[in-house]
């Protein structure tokens, strides 16, 4: 069955992800919080700028790992939720469908629209994002970048494949590794991510 | 507080400003990653970024929605904003324009850090420090960095409350 991404986004966006009486947002087995996109950009870009291009990859690798854990655990929480069972599982008939559904579900968190360009089952996933927040900000603040700055989407791309084709949760994390092969911050017209074993 | 969602773009706007939702694995992992880098002052970088963003955005919010409201009402809205964004509960009742104390008995960063890494001996509510500083500067019409905020007690180390000391420096 082909996955209807629009329908998944519509279903997902109707979920009430809201703070409880203690001001804490617990959803899908994780604690969520909302913050300004510019806050994240400022924190990370200032660290990178302070470190310089030689040392920056070390911190970006740590941030990639943090997002990988974020994506892996959050998306697992999503795919085991009652909501997923009720509304999404009836649409799924293969691990590939699950990858498409998870990518679609990502499109409610406010991080820019991610979509699949190519999926080779159990081998490779290529995703693209046309409107990530950070690349344009890097261009404005720091000029053209020497390599891609969207570690967040790289790690998400790997996490979908880890969940669909890696060992059973929670052992499959890190089965796939993703790289950003083009980025708007480098002057490309699109951000593109490739996850492979 | 008003949220707008564009499903075709996956863009969330809180009162017309772009926001995103992230989980504790990332939010706490971000702090930890930066703290581990030699030569980087994680506290200053995170507090400053939060201070700036809450200052500019709340200042605009006051102009658009709260210009006729009292200081107490503006603080009440700031407390609601903090809760709405999922950062926890915060109490400004012992604070005056020139400083004082702010308390929290529910903290996102404490909850998230405990779940991911367990206890630590040093405070972890960096974003809250920036929030308090930025919000106060916006409400009392000071410059962005007019308030110095220090977390003097944090629940992450086993304290009953998080306590923030605030000082006006201009």
Report pLDDT digits (tens) over B69-117.
999 999 999 999 999 999 999 999 999 999 999 999 999 999 999 999 9
Closest CA to A51 of B44, B29, B40, B46: B40
Distance from C-alpha of A33 to C-alpha of B108, rounded to nearest angstrom: 8
Asked whether B156 and B120 are in contact (CB, 8 A), the reply is yes
As a whole number of angstroms, the distance between CA A138 and CA A141 comes to 5
> Which CATH code fits A5-196?
3.30.1380
Chain A residues with CB-CB distance to B21 below 8 A? 17, 25, 32-34, 109-110
Beta bridge pairs of residue B100? B95, B166
Answer yes or no: are the C-beta atoms of B81 and B122 closer than 8 Å: no
Asked if A16 reaches chain B (Cβ–Cβ under 8 Å), the answer is no
- Where do the domains of chain B lie? 23-168
SS3 per residue for chain B = CCEEEECCCCEEEECCEEEEEEEHHHHHHHHHHHHCCCCCCHHHHHHHHHHHHHHHHHHHHHHHHHCCCCHHHHHHHHHHHHHHCCCEEEECCCEECCEEEEEEEEEHHHHHHHHHCCCCCCCCCHHHHHHHHHHHHHHCCCCCCCEEEEEEECHHHCCCCEEEEEEECC
Select from A31, A46, A114 the Cβ nearest to the Cβ of B115.
Answer: A31
**CATH class of the domain defined by B23-168:** alpha beta
Q: Among A13, A31, A59, whose Cβ lies nearest the Cβ of B111?
A: A31
- In whole angstroms, give the CA distance from residue A60 to residue A48: 8
Q: Would you write out chain A's pLDDT as a tens digit for each of its 197 residues?
A: 578 899 999 988 888 789 999 999 999 889 999 999 999 999 999 999 999 888 888 889 999 999 999 999 999 999 999 989 999 999 999 999 999 999 999 999 999 999 999 999 999 999 999 999 999 999 999 999 999 999 999 999 999 999 999 999 999 999 999 999 999 999 999 999 999 99
Residue numbers in A near B84 (CB within 8 A): 19, 34
CA distance A196 to chain B (A): 22
Rounded to a whole number of angstroms, the distance from the CA of A58 to the nearest CA of chain B is: 9
Sequence-ordered list of residues with C-beta below 8 angstroms from that of B91, at least 6 positions apart, any chain: B79, B102, B103, B104, B105
Which member of A43, A62, A133 has the closest CB to residue B36?
A62
Say if residues B46 and B126 touch (Cβ distance below 8 Å).
yes
Q: Which residues of B touch A133 (CB under 8 A)?
A: 18, 20
Chain B environment of A69 (Cβ under 8 Å):
25-26, 29
Q: B161 — contact with chain A (CB < 8 Å)?
A: no
- Which residue on chain A is closest to B90 by alpha carbon? A23
pLDDT of residue A56: 87
Q: Left, alpha or beta for A140 (phi > 0: left; psi -120 to 50: alpha)? A: alpha
Region of B41 on the Ramachandran plot (φ > 0 left; ψ -120 to 50 alpha; else beta): beta
CB atoms A13 and B5 under 8 Å = yes
As a whole number of angstroms, the distance between CA B69 and CA A186 comes to: 46
Chain A contact set for B87 (CB, 8 A): 23, 33
Closest CB from B19, B112, B115 relative to A110: B19
Please give the pLDDT value at position A3.
85
**Neighboring chain B residues of A38 at a CB cutoff of 8 Å:** 17-18, 53
pLDDT at A55: 85
- What local confidence, expressed as pLDDT, does residue A1 receive? 56
Low-confidence ranges of chain B (pLDDT < 70): none
Output the DSSP codes for chain A: ----HHHHHHHHHTS-----TTS-EEETTEEEEEEEHHHHHHHHHHHHHHH-TTTHHHHHHHHHHHHHHHHHHHHHHHHTSHHIIIIIGGG--SHHHHHHHHHHHHTTSSS--EEEEEEETTTEEEEEES--HHHHHHHHHH-S-SS---HHHHHHHHHHHHHHHSSTTTTTTTSSEEEEEE-GGGT-SSEEEEEE-
Which of B32, B49, B112 is nearest residue A43 as measured by Cβ atoms? B49
CA A159 – CA A67 distance, rounded (Å):
9
Q: How high is the mean pLDDT of chain B?
A: 96
* Token duo for residue B158: 């086993």
What does the angle CA B94 – CA B129 – CA B56 come to, to the nearest 5 degrees? 100
Q: Is the peptide bond before B89 cis (omega within 30 degrees of 0)?
A: no
Is-contact A105 A75, C-beta < 8 A?
A: yes
Check CB contact under 8 Å for A9 and B7.
Answer: yes
Report chain A's C-alpha Rg in angstroms: 17
Q: Which chain A residues are within 8 Å of B15, Cβ to Cβ?
A: none
Residue environment code for A3-21, b if the CB has 16+ CB neighbours within 10 A, otherwise e: bebeebbebbeeeebebee
């Amino acid at each position: 069955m082909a996955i209807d991404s629009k329908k998944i986004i519509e279903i997902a966006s109707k979920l009430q992800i809201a703070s409880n009486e203690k001001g804490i947002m617990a959803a899908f087995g994780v604690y969520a919080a909302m913050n300004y996109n510019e806050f994240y950009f400022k924190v990370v870009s200032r660290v990178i700028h302070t470190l310089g291009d030689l040392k920056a990859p070390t911190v970006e690798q740590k941030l990639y790992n943090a997002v990988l854990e974020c994506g892996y655990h959050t998306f697992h929480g999503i795919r085991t939720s009652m909501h997923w069972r009720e509304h999404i599982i009836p649409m799924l008939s293969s691990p590939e469908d699950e990858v498409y559904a998870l990518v679609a579900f990502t499109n409610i968190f406010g991080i820019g629209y991610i979509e699949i360009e190519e999926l080779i089952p159990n081998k490779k996933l290529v995703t693209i994002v046309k409107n990530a927040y950070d690349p344009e900000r890097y261009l404005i603040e720091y000029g053209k970048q020497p390599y891609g700055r969207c570690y967040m989407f790289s790690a998400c791309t790997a996490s979908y494949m880890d969940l669909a084709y890696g060992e059973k949760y929670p052992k499959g994390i890190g089965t796939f590794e993703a790289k950003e092969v083009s980025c708007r911050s480098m002057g490309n017209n699109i951000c593109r991510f490739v996850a492979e074993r | 507080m008003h949220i707008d969602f564009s499903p075709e773009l996956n863009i969330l706007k809180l009162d017309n400003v772009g926001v995103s939702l992230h989980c504790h694995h990332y939010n706490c992992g971000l702090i930890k990653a930066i703290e581990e880098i030699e030569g980087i002052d994680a506290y200053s970088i995170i507090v400053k970024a939060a201070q700036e963003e809450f200052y500019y955005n709340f200042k605009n919010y006051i102009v658009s929605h709260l210009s006729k409201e009292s200081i107490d009402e503006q603080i009440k809205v700031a407390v609601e904003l903090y809760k709405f964004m999922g950062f926890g509960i915060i109490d400004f009742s012992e604070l005056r324009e020139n400083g004082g104390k702010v308390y929290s008995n529910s903290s996102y960063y404490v909850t998230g850090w405990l779940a991911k890494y367990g206890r630590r001996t040093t405070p972890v509510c960096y974003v809250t420090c920036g929030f308090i500083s930025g919000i106060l500067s916006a409400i009392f019409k000071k410059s962005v960095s007019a308030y110095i905020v220090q977390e003097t007690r944090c629940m992450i180390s086993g304290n009953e409350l998080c306590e923030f000391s605030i000082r006006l420096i201009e």
